[in-house]
Amino acid sequence: MKVAVIGGGAAGMSAASRIKSLHPDWEVAVFEAKNFVSHTPCGIPYVVEGISKAEDLMYYKPRVL
């Protein structure tokens, strides 16, 4: 089975993770229009202040197809 999830925010990534945990043999692809996939919004102030890099806010790094 192939599943497409639209949106790489918290809900989209949660749905994709849940599908993979229930059906590990299924192919799941998440499509997001922006470069931030499953980011941690609580870390944004650290990026604004220059303490962290924006890439450090993402758990899953995006792969461009």
The answer to whether the beta carbons of residues 13 and 21 sit under 8 Å apart is no
- Residue 27 backbone dihedrals phi, psi, to 5 degrees: -95, 120
Active-site residue (options: 1, 22, 33, 42): 42
- Our answer to whether residue 25 is catalytic in this structure is no
Q: Which two tokens stand for residue 42?
A: 């609580």
Contacts of 55 (CB under 8 A, 6+ apart): 61
Query: Catalytic residues, which ones?
Result: 42
